[in-house]
Structure 1
Amino acid sequence: MTAPKYLWLPAPTNVTLLPNDVHIWRIHLDLPEPTLENLAATLSDDESARAQRFYFQEHRQRFIAGRGSLRAILGRYLAIAPQEVQFDYEARGKPFLAHEFADSGLAFNLSHSQDLALCAVSKNRQIGIDLEYIRPMSDLESLAQRFFLPREYDLVRSLPPEQRPGVFFRFWTCKEAYLKATGEGIAQLEKIEVSLTPSEPAKLQTFKDWSLLELEPADNYAAAVAVGGFGWDLKCWQY
């Protein structure tokens, strides 16, 4: 099964976020050096220090691209310069807008894998997004047994080997999107029940007041967004 394909539209210059809107931004992280330099100039001192801690240049550049793009995106909604965006952090490290922006009601979440990132933005709704590059893994079955419920693990194990990575990462991104929305850690993965099959879209079984949507941002990627409540309108932007 392939998750629904969405049309990634060029974002308008003046983007508006209505109360029932959910915006998802697709961000390419492998950028030319001049663009990276411009983004790096908008980072805070702690973000710049974090970027320098990456051992590999590729990882450092992708962090700068992701965090700088996040600042630029949030700056559009707040009508401020990217470098003026300020963050606070939850106990597990999840960033959120600093208290001076609380009146905006803006909630966001960022996920990246390989050369792609997704940023989800909502207003007065909890939101989480997860993105994974689908790849073979030697420990896939043991990870599924550790982090998935028995029924989920049995489904992964029952599939032909070539189908297992795709379904594994669909389960993983759905669970992780919810846990990122709530700020809980990866240790809670096995407590989140997701219902899906190779031919049917995922549903979040554990919590009835949350909605879950799978996305296909590019070939060989799995992604999901979890949003508090229902009745929201999705728009997908290409940054």
Structure 2
Amino acid sequence: MFKTIADAQWRVPHADIDLTGNDVHVWRASLSAPARTVQRFQEALSVDEVVRAARYAFAHDRDHFIVARGMLRTILGRYLQLRPGHLRFRYNPYGKPALTAGAGYEQLSFNLSHSHGMVLYAITPTRAVGIDLEQVRDEPVCEQIAGRFFTPQEHAGLCAVPSPMRQAAFFTCWTRKEAYIKARGDGLSHPLNAFEVSVGPGAPARLVRTHNNPAEAEQWSMLEIEPGQGFVGTLVVEGHDWNITHLQWTGDH
């Protein structure tokens, strides 16, 4: 099963935004922020998040991590009507974050991905969700990477794409595969060649088959996200019959 969108309509949310059972909200934001905003976000982080931020060798990367986590806390806090610093996270064995159970607030499923100064967040109240974002850039060995990590069908499909479009096709395929394993929550312990996604310009985002459990492919929806010029993205959601809303972070939240 799959959905497509020709042009994502990113809009500024209303103050009283709601998230109901079949909703999936995808937020888009820039990670560039003035020093005072970085400081404000850092003050809302947990000790372990501050420690993780300090591990970055370059201030640019450290600030992007702080902003990405600070915005995540702010967005989730908006839905839950909680201050960003009051949220607590847990992580599964593969590093996927979730809100801590039993902390006095309802659960939300969420996922995030950032690339070269842009970040996407996917949030839903009832379903497993994964999202991935990549900047399309020159990758001279994309065919070799695909030959090593993709299925033979995906590799052949990529090689059949005309050369001027091959970089975009490679990164689009990569986001489809990453979003799926992020939705499953098992990270790269799930081999990238254990399932197949659609490949090629104009091919609707689709989970074609899963090799270990053929029925699983029908349990997920895959949607191409258009984050902006020079970027590609994919959203994977458990089940079907859900409604997506594209939201733009403005900093006034």
Identify whether the pair has TM-score above 0.5, normalized to the shorter chain.
Answer: yes
TM-score between the two structures when normalised by the length of structure 1: 0.95
Hey, what's the Cα distance between the residues in 2 that align with 1:230 and 1:48?
A: 37
Query: Could you tell me which residue of structure 1 aligns to residue 137 of structure 2?
Result: 135
Which residues in structure 2 correspond to 1:49-128 (within 5 Å)? Answer: 49-101=51-103, 104-128=106-130
Bigger mean CA deviation after superposition, 2-11 or 113-122: 2-11
Partner of 1:221: 231
**Cα shift at 1:156:** 1.1
Q: Residue 222 of structure 2 aligns with which residue?
A: 212
Whether the 8 Å CA contact 2:27–2:247 is kept in 1: the answer is: yes
Distance 1:19 1:3, change over 3 A: closer
Distance 1:196 1:143 in 2: 15
Output the CA distance in 1 between the equivalents of 2:150 and 2:197: 9
Structure 2 distance, partners of 1:133, 1:150, is: 24
CA RMSD of aligned residues (A): 1.5
Q: Provide, for residues 104-124 of structure 1, a one-character-per-residue CA deviation record: whole Å limited to 9, x for no partner.
A: 231000100010000000111
Q: Aligned in 2, Cα 1:100/1:203: closer, same or farther, shift over 3 Å?
A: same
The C-alpha deviation readout for 1:138-188, integer Å capped at 9, x for no partner, is 221111011111111012112232211100111111111110011122252
Displaced runs of 4 or more, over 6 A: none
Label 1:66 to 1:22 Cα distance change in 2 as closer, same or farther (>3 A): same
Gaps of 5+ in 2: 210-216
Deviations 1:168-225 (A, max 9, x none): 1111111111100111222521112112431221211221111000011111111000
Map of 2:196 onto structure 1: 193
Q: Report matched runs for 1:21-36 at 5 Å.
A: 21-36=23-38
- Amino acid aligned to 1:104: E
Q: Percent identity?
A: 40
**Would you say the 8 A contact 1:5–1:217 is kept in 2?**
no
The answer to whether the Cα contact below 8 Å between 1:4 and 1:214 also exists between their aligned partners in 2 is no
Structure 2: distance between partners of 1:95 and 1:185? 12
Letter in 2 for 1:5: D
Residue matched to 1:172: 174
What is the rounded CA distance, in whole Å, between the counterparts of 2:16 and 2:47 in structure 1?
28
Q: Is the 8 A contact 2:158 2:200 kept in 1?
A: no
- Amino acid across the alignment from 1:217: P
SS of the aligned residue for 1:162 comes to helix
1:102 Cα deviation (Å)? Answer: 8.0
**CA-CA distance at 1:100 after TM superposition:** 2.1
Q: Is contact 2:157–2:199 with CA below 8 Å preserved after alignment?
A: no
Distance between the aligned counterparts of 1:4 and 1:177, measured in 2? 19
| 1:158 and 2:168 correspond | no
Query: Within 1, Cα distance between the matches of 2:201 and 2:5?
Result: 10
Shift of the 74–152 alpha-carbon distance from structure 1 to 2, 3 Å rule, reads: same
Q: 1:203: which partner in 2?
A: 206
Q: 1:157 touches 1:164 (CA, 8 Å); kept in 2?
A: yes
After TM superposition, the structure 1 stretch with the greater mean CA deviation from structure 2, 68-77 or 194-203, is 194-203
The answer on 1:238 being equivalent to 2:248 is yes
Give the alignment's TM-score, normalised by structure 2.
0.90
